[in-house]
Amino acid sequence: MPSAIDLLKQDHREVEQLFSQFEGTQDPAIAEKICSELEVHTAAEEELVYPVLREDVSGGEKLAGEAEHEHAEARQIIGRIKQTTDAQHLNDVVAELKKAIEHHVEEEEGTVFPKMEAEVNSDELESIGTELEQFKQSA
């Protein structure tokens, strides 16, 4: 059974690939897919992962608060992507989103995930992983 951390990292890699595809094609459909993937990912983290981070990890309240702030920033940029029809503006806003997401991923994979792996029971991480899979399927 996959751990929540493994699944979230897998999501990160998938979105990174989508950003690369967009950079090569500037296809608005790929920009839409990036947005929808990130919307599901952030909702899943906020509902299933961050409560555990807050409860079970030392300094988790601060880490979860920072991550939620970064999610709010991403949602704002996603809203701008969905509103734009100009190709150049779309490229600029997707690049802005990519930069924000790269920062967020670096924080999660460099700080949040290692702390969770050290301080949260592996059975619980697997249980959250199962919930994440179900959440994504129902989204």
Read off the pLDDT of residues 90-130 as tens digits, 9 standing for 90 and up. 999 999 999 999 999 999 999 999 999 999 999 999 999 99
DSSP track, 95-138: HHHHHHHHHHHHHIIIIIHHHHHHHS-HHHHHHHHHHHHHHHHH
Determine the Cα–Cα distance for residues 88 and 13; give it in Å rounded to an integer: 25
What pLDDT score was predicted for residue 127? Answer: 97
- Yes or no: say if 53 and 60 are a contact pair by the CB < 8 Å rule: yes
Q: Cβ contacts of residue 134 below 8 Å, gap of 6+?
A: none
Look-up of token digits 């967020």: 104
Average pLDDT (33-40) is 98
What pLDDT score was predicted for residue 38? Answer: 98
Q: What is the pLDDT of residues 3-27, one digit of tens each?
A: 999 999 999 999 999 999 999 999 9
The three-state (H, E, C) secondary structure of 57-81, written as one string: CCCHHHHHHHHHHHHHHHHHHHHHH
- pLDDT of residue 134 exceeding 90: yes
What pLDDT score was predicted for residue 139? Answer: 87
- pLDDT of residue 1 exceeding 80: no
What is the 8-class DSSP label of residue 82?
H
Cα dist from 91 to 13, 74, 75, 108, 131, whole Å: 20, 15, 17, 25, 34
- Yes or no: say if 44 and 136 are a contact pair by the CB < 8 Å rule: yes
Q: What is the pLDDT of residues 68-85, one digit of tens each?
A: 999 999 999 999 999 999
What pLDDT score was predicted for residue 97? Answer: 98
What pLDDT score was predicted for residue 121? Answer: 95
What pLDDT score was predicted for residue 5? Answer: 97
Q: How many residues does the chain have?
A: 139
Set out the domains of the chain in order of their start, with CATH numbers. Answer: 4-133 (1.20.120.520)
Quickly state the pLDDT bin for 51 (edges 50, 70, 90): very high
| pTM of the predicted protein model | 0.95
